[in-house]
Amino acid sequence: MNPGRSVGIAFAGCGYAADFYGATLPNYPWLDVRGAYDVRTDRARSFVREYGGCVYDSFDQLLADPSVDVLVNLTPVTLHHSTTKAALNAGKHVYSEKPLATRLDEASELVLLARQRGLLLSSAPSTVFSQAAQTLIQAVGDGLIGRPRLVHAALDMGALAFMAYTDWHSRRGVPWPFEDEVRNGCVMEHAGYQLSWLVAMFGPVVRMAAHTASLLADEWSTLDAGEVAPDVSLGFLEFADGTVGRISIGWVAPTDQTLTVIGDRGTLTVGDVWQASEPVVLRRRVGTNGKDHSYLAEPEQLPFVVPAAEHRYVDTHDLTVGAGVADLARAAVRDEQPFLSADYCLHVLDVSLRLAAGTGVAETVTVPASTDSKLLGCSIESLATAGRGHAPTSWPTVGLAGEKRRA
Ligand SMILES: NC(=O)c1ccc[n+]([C@@H]2O[C@H](COP(=O)([O-])OP(=O)(O)OC[C@H]3O[C@@H](n4cnc5c(N)ncnc54)[C@H](O)[C@@H]3O)[C@@H](O)[C@H]2O)c1
């Protein structure tokens, strides 16, 4: 990936996510960190102390620095559009954290501006460069499972509202900005981690439906339920090559970050798309008989098709975040398009926005009047009320080790 000359990069925003970048930059010694700007000078200072460069006194000073080729935009989501626009107008290539912008028209404006000015624009996430992603994408492309037909994708993180989220800090001690994340919502924060792999394998999404729900909105300590974006999104996706899939994104269900591609000759699974070196597991179809899984061979782990990155962020997830910046910088030197091209990122954003809006058809199911107590009324509320008369059941449970306990 080394383009043969160094590329000057500078950071706007030195908060929680900035440590993901700093920790992975040594993989790309030709990325020359010129400096950083943050409205909180203490954060810019601690960032450059750890990762190099100077502290800029203002964003304008950063933009005026001719040694900066690429701006890495790590500001809060609501500032992505204005920050990226200013950088493009100042003649800088831009790598933006996701999303490119909060609205499709604003993101499209940025893509057009970059094109008009002959600049490159990319957006996170960059997990598509991981060993797991590259190996999966190549295995599907090489036909190891025949023609892909179906994909199951999940980015469920566990019930964040019940976790100790105020204790979470980055390597430099920056707190996890849960209020911003929860306002943005699980889809805008995380859909791209799955979508960027899926679009690379199957082409663009051509038809889709989605539904969202807010289930734990009133469980956050300092936020009103009305400020919280939906915390569950379930989507149906149909891709240009005919593959169809279901995607689940949320922070309600226990952790599940699996991706399984089902083809007519077998299946490929990555157990956790956030772990760069997660094994890619192939199960070949070996038969057509039997009632159970015997049509599939025993799982086999595929050899990775790219070497491991030496430096990673390995706090909760093993990410190669700097790879996206390196991809953009390499493309800028070689006058090519990055893998994460502006159009590709715009499409991923478009699908994410649709998943977040839940624009699929939500049909109301009319339940006929019935004397069956399981079909009382036709609303969830009436079913819940009907259940309230019952004494709570005390369930004996059996632990996994076989030990009996009371719930
Ligand atoms: N938090 C995560 O786990 C995580 C992970 C991956 C990506 N991201 C993404 O990274 C981006 C930043 O998120 P974060 O978690 O680092 O948020 P954060 O709030 O911790 O950091 C944002 C930083 O930007 C600074 N800032 C605010 N206004 C600014 C301005 N006008 N100019 C320069 N700096 C400004 C803030 O002072 C803060 O230090 C978001 O797009 C988010 O989606 C976050």
One-letter amino acid of 10: A
- pLDDT, tens only, 131-188: 999 999 999 999 999 999 999 999 999 999 999 999 999 999 999 999 999 999 999 9
Whether 7-123 shares its CATH topology with 127-319+341-357 is answered no
Would the pLDDT of 258 be above 70? Answer: yes
Question: Quick one: tokens of 120?
Answer: 């490159």
Top-level CATH class of 7-123?
alpha beta
Would the pLDDT of 407 be above 50? Answer: no
Q: Which residues pair with 377 in a beta bridge?
A: none
The fraction of the chain above a pLDDT of 90, given in percent, is: 79
Mean pLDDT, residues 325-348 taken together: 96
Fold classified for 127-319+341-357? Dihydrodipicolinate Reductase; domain 2 (3.30.360)
Q: Is 75 in the pocket of ligand 1 (CB under 6 A)?
A: yes
- Domain positions in the chain: 7-123, 127-319+341-357, 373-406
Q: What is the band of 240 on the pLDDT scale with cuts at 50, 70, 90? A: very high
Q: Per mean pLDDT, which of 27-31, 283-287, 309-313 is the most reliable?
A: 27-31
State the number of CA atoms in the 13 A half-sphere of 376 facing the CB: 11
Sequence-distant (≥ 6) Cβ neighbours of residue 381 within 8 angstroms: none
Burial per residue of 150-189, b for 16 or more beta-carbon CB atoms within 10 angstroms, e otherwise = ebbbbbbbebbbeeebeebebebebebbbeebbbbbbbbb
Helix axes 186-202, 131-141, angle to 10 degrees: 40
Q: Is 14 in the pocket of ligand 1 (CB under 6 A)?
A: yes
What is the 177 CA–ligand 1 centroid distance (Å)? 8
Predicted local confidence at residue 378, as pLDDT: 47
Q: Is 56 in the pocket of ligand 1 (CB under 6 A)?
A: no
Q: What is the band of 403 on the pLDDT scale with cuts at 50, 70, 90? A: very low
What is the 109 CA–ligand 1 centroid distance (Å)? 22
Would the pLDDT of 316 be above 80? Answer: no
- Residue 232 DSSP symbol: E
C-alpha span between 111 and 350 (Å, rounded): 13
Tell which residue, 155, 354, 146, has the closest CA to residue 261. Answer: 146
With the most atoms of ligand 1 within 8 angstroms of its CB, the residue from 11, 19, 24, 39 to mutate is: 39
CA angle 385, 386, 388 (to 5 degrees): 65
